[in-house]
Structure 1
Amino acid sequence: MKQLDKPELDELDFNLIEILSNDARLSNRKIAAKLGVTEGTVRGRIKKLQQERLIAFTAVTSPDLQEDDKLAFIGVQTNLDQVDEIASQVSKMSGVTGVIITLGRFNMLVICLFNELGQLHKTASEQILSMPGVHHVETSIAVETVKYNSRIVRITDEEHPLEV
């Protein structure tokens, strides 16, 4: 697993991120006025934060817009020496929206969206469980979301995939 270095951010960076988190559509000029710095400083800080993959601008969509609108979690037990490889393969599967390597009962937690139970069963039992090195899978279906912070996500893209 790749260890991520903690970025060195100052108070201005944190204040900028807070402002953007509340309204990313604000102009650099308005942000600069709020922070008491120049527009060029704001533009440069935003560019640096984007290049370091600490912020990204995107539209956050409601699960209601998804065709596959039921959320499920699949706990996966694997051989310890194959966790990274299996996580990489699982992350490419259709319907999988997240793969998290964990400590505890499972080595990995897979997050997926599905529309029919058959889709979830196929992903968990036919695709993941059949992989060499996978010993056990256990599914849980979300019935109600009490709290979810969509502002915090791992920023990846095809040019800079997250190394596991």
Structure 2
Amino acid sequence: MPTPSLDDFDRQLIEVLARDARVSNRKIAADLGVTEGTVRGRIRRLQQDKLIAFTALTGLGTQGETKLAFIAINAEVDQVRAIAERIATIPRVTGVLVTMGRSNIIAICLFEQLEELVAVASDQILAMPGVHHVETSIAVKTFKYNARVVKITGTSDIAENDD
């Protein structure tokens, strides 16, 4: 599948929406010097091409006593994709990344009780065939988090980018 291209107008439109996704198409059109129909059409194309999505982001503060943890996983190299896909099915896991470096998979997990994290890291992930080691890190203070850098991805991205 070819990668959709972005022109300068697309980038300007994305920047406006990244600052405030609730801004009206009429306001965007007036600010960028185009018609409202142009804005509406571009937004629709960007959504269809999965280059933008509109969603509500919640902060950890809305989750009560929820904590954020990262689970670094060392897995057999020839099984990384399959293991990452299995980890992605665990309900407590909110993100799975295949990485290069000390670990080859990072899982992001939200939990309220330490026992929940232990159950995910040890009882579920470490018990998977092909997983050799897990190491957990718990976020104790967040100094900066920018939700705007989140990329829209799916499991197919792993298959496309692991060659």
Partners of 2:3 and 2:98 lie apart in 1 by 19
Q: Return the match for 2:102 from 100, 105, 126.
A: 105
Q: Which one-letter code corresponds to 2:125 in the other structure?
A: I
Answer whether contact 2:68 2:138 (CA < 8 A) is retained.
yes
- What is the number of residues matched between the two proteins? 157
TM-superposed CA distance for 1:27, in Å, is: 1.1
TM (normalized to structure 1)?
0.91
Report the TM-score, using the length of structure 2 for normalisation: 0.91
Aligned to 1:57: 54
5+ residue gaps, structure 1: none
What value does the CA root-mean-square deviation take over the aligned residues? 1.4
Match of 2:37 in 1: 40
Query: Distance in 2 between the 1:149 and 1:5 partners?
Result: 28
Q: Give the counterpart of 1:94 among 88, 91, 94.
A: 91
Verify: 1:144 aligned to 2:157, yes or no.
no
Correspondence list, 1:1-164, <5 A: 6-67=3-64, 69-156=66-153, 161-163=154-156, 164=158
Long gaps (5+) in structure 2? 159-163
Q: Answer 1 or 2: which has greater helix percent.
A: 2
List, as ranges, runs of 4+ consecutive aligned residues in structure 1 with deviation greater than 6 Å: none
SS at 1:125 equivalent: helix
Give the percent of matched residue pairs that are identical in Structure 1 and Structure 2. 58
After TM superposition, give the deviation of residue 144 of structure 1 in Å.
0.6
